[in-house]
Chains A and B, each alone.
Chain A
Amino acid sequence: MINNINERVKVGAVFGDNFDIKPVWFIWQNQKYSINSITYRWSSRKGREALQHFSVTDGVNLYELCYNTGSSIWTLAKVEAGDG
């Protein structure tokens, strides 16, 4: 089941060549989550602001992280519990 969260989170990310962004871990409700893999990424816009979305997994659950490139703010948009 998908839960809409929309909370600001702290994210550790690698900013590589060609504007490539790779989130590596994030902290949510005082717990650190290490990202196993980025399963999908896409962009959207809200007004003038460009948003980068990342679907990531820690091996158990699926999370959607959203990076606002204008404000440099990361948000945990959604969480979906895994089958496990």
Chain B
Amino acid sequence: MKRVIMHIDMDAYFASVEQQTNPHLRGKPIAVTGAGKRTVITCPSYEARRYGVKTGMNRWEAKQLCPHIIFIPGCNQRYVDTCTRLVELYKTYTPDVEIYSVDEAFLDLSGSCHLFGPPAQVGRAIKDQIKNVYGITASIGISSNKLTAKIASDLDKPDGLTILHSREQIEATLRNLPVKEVPGIGSKTEAALKSMGIFTCGELAKIPAGRLRDRFGLVFGEQLYFMARGMDSKKVVPDSRRQPAKSVGHSMTLQKDVGDFSRIQGYVLKLSEMVGRRLRRAGYKGKTLHLYVRYADFTSFSKRKSVKKYIDDGLEIYCLAMSILRSFRLQKEVRMVGVSLSNLIESRQMPLFEEDRLQGCVTDAVDRINDRYGEFTVMRGSLLKSRETPDTISPAWRPSGIKRIDYT
């Protein structure tokens, strides 16, 4: 059966949702930002992009390029709920839907084309339904594999529908395509290729596999060889068939740089509680903690520590994180903190010791109250003053399972 892979990419997703929500913003240059004071642009509208405003810029930079730009704090609830509903729409065409990010998805239509008509017809139907129901647009690429489908969706943005059917079409598209436009080739690889005199996929395709393996290693060198030719055998993997998560973590960019150790402890406690909560909800425990700290000057450090016992309690995670933090002498003010737990197992076994069982009862009771009335309804007293929460959607976010996060 010939593979038919569709890549759906929402156009300026966050900004489009905000412009649809508020008619006064339509047609104007806007930029969606995080909720915190110290935040960057997460999504500029197409009107703002015409001025050169890009994702990742800070407000000052954006204002220099577009003095009349309007900044809108993002509403993550809207974006994740819309994504969840869009995925349900996609699943009416095929069960093989892979959520690539909150605004991108892959569909494998190979087994369902005979039910819904030609791929182009399915693409147009999906675009029309998104426009009619949500008032926003998507660009769709259709091809024989994930790589070329994703390249195709980018060729005619916004509101595009591009099909790369044949080998000849794929080769013609890739011939002059800058290497940085290929998914999987980042800025470091681009720079390395440029130093070899390679600027386009066509030029990359002329390099023998052996030379690429020598320069980029056996695995990545081989991948580059096939990517240059638009070849990709990776399957569309729905969440139900994904490998279980290898780690669970949360990080937070602080509203202001913090040098006070007791305040940093508070943030570590909050993040540890959030990690514990997600682990327990998904039925996992872990035993390797990874603490990450970024200083105000953007230097950073991180360290791992493992324990013998598998844990899922926020306080135990916190104690482990603090044992790492105390082993460092914080030299500068802290900008960002991250806590994650890996080496996960499913937590089926009852605790052996009475003390652990009692602690488990308390945690279970707190979880049930928070399930009923909302996150942090009951919390440790030292977190009462802590209002800050992570305010960006993780690239790993999914609408269900261990990677689901409820945003307020």
Chain A positions within 8 Å of B, measured between CB atoms, are 39-40, 42-49, 53, 55, 57, 62, 80, 82-83
Contacts and interface: CB of A to CB of B under 8 A. Distances in A.
Given A55-B21, A55-B22, A48 B406 contact: no
Interface of B: 17, 20-24, 77-78, 81-82, 134-135, 370-375, 377, 406-408
Contacts of A43: 81
A57 B82 CA distance: 20
**Interface on chain B toward A: helix, strand, loop, or mixed SS?**
helix
A53 B76 CA distance: 13
A27 to B, nearest CB: 23
Nearest to A62: B22
Nearest to B134: A40
Given A39-B20, A40-B135, A62-B23, 9 more contacts: A39-B21, A40-B134, A47-B372, A48-B372, A53-B77, A55-B21, A55-B22, A57-B23, A62-B21
- Which of B78, B82, B371, B407 is most buried by chain A, counting CB atoms within 10 A of its CB? B78
A45 B373 CA distance: 9
Nearest to B26: A39
Given A45-B406, A53-B77, A40 B373 contact: no
Contact of A47 (B22, B81, B374): B374
A32 to B, nearest CB: 22
Q: List the 6 closest pairs (A to B, CB-CB), nearest first.
A: A40-B21, A47-B374, A42-B81, A46-B374, A47-B373, A55-B21
**Interface on chain A toward B: helix, strand, loop, or mixed SS?**
strand
Contacts, number: 48
A48 to B, nearest CB: 5
B24 A42 contact: no
A33 to B, nearest CB: 16
A42 B135 CA distance: 13
A47 B23 contact: no
B377 to A, nearest CB: 7
Contacts of A82: 24
Contacts of A83: 24
A43 B22 CA distance: 17
A57 B23 CA distance: 9
Given A47-B370, A47-B372, A47-B373, A42 B406 contact: no
Nearest to B133: A41
Contacts of A57: 23
Nearest to B81: A42
Contact of B77 (A44, A47, A80): A44
Nearest to A40: B21
Nearest to A55: B21
B24 A47 contact: no
